[in-house]
Amino acid sequence: MGIDVVMVATFLAAIATFAVIVAIYAATTVKDPMARRVRALNERREQLKAGIVASTSKRRRTITNKNEVADKVRSFLGSLKMLQDEQVSKAQRRLMQAGIRSKDLAFVVIFARLVLPILIGTIVILMVYVIDWWPAWGAFKRYGTVATALILSYKAPDIWLKNKVNKRTSAIRKGLPDALDLLVICAEAGLTVDAAFNRVARELGKAYPELGDEFALTSIELGFLTDRRSAFENLANRIDLESVRGVVTTMIQTEKYGTPLASALRVLSAEFRNERMMRAEEKAARLPAIMTVPLILFILPVLFIVILGPASCSISDNLIK
């Protein structure tokens, strides 16, 4: 067939060798995720300390995490009159929900929305119209390719950010009932709210690192912020989950009216466990409908070949004779 077997074997061996090298590198350079989270929480603690004891000018200079690239991007976007307070605050909130603490990256996300369509769109236009790599394409197909590239490149930062937010939210949703049970135990044992959050964060840090990170940060803010309501509201803003907003509302009400915390959290924990069971039952009920498509496309053709193949071969042999 005109294929050099030696060249193909050499190419496959090179790919396998490269994959082995990458696997060895990934296995030998594994970093402890707890160290990174502890470092981030310590930085937040130092920021809160600086915000309390420093003067106004020094506080602003200490809390703001200077990033030269983000500052350049911010000044560039400001010169183009493209920065809107609502747009920046929305991007910063999405970054917090994705687990990214640096607010300066919001300007990088906005800058990516501006630069990626120009860069990728220019490359696609050059390939389609100038270089003419696909001369058989019609005008409609060329226009559709360019338009699709522009739209996808503009939406790429938002899609990436939404994907990270969804993954983090799903991981937090799984561990929320267990966290509430531990909060109930800590509240009944006589611990304060900030000590209970810190204890739960330490107990669930390895099983649910995202939830443990958020609870540890809330515990730090409860210990340093003058308004405890702000710490709970920050927790609701950092997690894109309606269940967490319900927990935050309950915590604020117990702080305000002095209602029993353990009983309220026990009711919420039971509701969340029922909700998790209902989601599992829903997935199980959807499974037969989802399996219909692969069953028709992959299993039934093979089954027909196995059953009807020998019969068709026998019929073909008899007709030839």
Q: Which of 38, 13, 26 is nearest to 217 (CA)?
A: 38
pTM for the whole structure: 0.67
> Residue 163 has what pLDDT?
93
Rounded-to-integer distance, Cα 302 and Cα 311, Å: 15
Positions of E strands within 65-221: none
More confident residue, 89 or 34: 89
Tokens, residue 153: 């490149």
Q: Which residue has the tokens 């692969």?
A: 294
Q: Which of 237, 211, 206, 233 is nearest to 222 (CA)?
A: 233
> Residue 61 has what pLDDT?
46
Q: Average per-residue pLDDT in the chain? A: 81
Could you write out the DSSP letters of every residue in 230-245?
HHHHHHHHHS--HHHH
Q: Are 214 and 185 in contact (CB under 8 A)?
A: no
Rounded-to-integer distance, Cα 272 and Cα 266, Å: 10
**pLDDT digit string, tens, across residues 130-185:** 888 888 888 888 889 899 999 999 999 999 999 999 999 988 988 888 888 898 88
Integer-rounded Cα radius of gyration of the chain: 28
Taking residues 38-57, what's their average pLDDT? 59
> Residue 271 has what pLDDT?
83
Q: Are 77 and 66 in contact (CB under 8 A)?
A: no
Length in residues, the chain: 321
Taking residues 230-238, what's their average pLDDT? 90
Tokens, residue 321: 């004779």
